[in-house]
Amino acid sequence: MKGQIRLLCLWLLLGGVVLTMGCSGLIMAGKRPPENYQKLGQAKGEACGSLLIGATAYYFIPVLLNSRVERAYQRALESVPGSTSLVNVTLEEYWLWWVIGTARCVTITGEGVK
Q: Is residue 92 part of a domain?
A: yes
Q: Which domain holds residue 48?
A: 31-113
pLDDT in tens, 42-61: 999 999 998 887 665 666 78
Is residue 23 a part of any domain in this protein? no
Q: Is 5 among the domain residues?
A: no
76-114: per-residue pLDDT in tens?
A: 999 999 999 999 999 999 998 887 888 999 999 999 998
In a domain, 108, yes or no: yes
Q: Give 10 or 82, the one with higher predicted confidence.
A: 82
Q: Higher pLDDT residue, 3 or 55?
A: 3
Is 8 inside a domain boundary? Answer: no
Phi, psi of 59 (to 5 degrees): -65, 140
2 lies in some domain: no
Q: Is residue 37 situated within a structural domain?
A: yes
Q: Give pLDDT, residue 35.
A: 82
Burial 14-32 (b: 16+ CB within 10 A, else e): eeeeeeeeeeeeeeebbee
Candidates 58, 65, 68; CA nearest to 100 is: 58
Provide the number of structural domains found in the chain: 1
Let me know: does 75 contact 98? Beta carbons within 8 Å. no
The answer to whether residue 24 is domain-embedded is no
CATH code: domain of residue 45: 3.30.110
Lowest mean pLDDT among 7-11, 20-24, 47-51, 94-98: 20-24
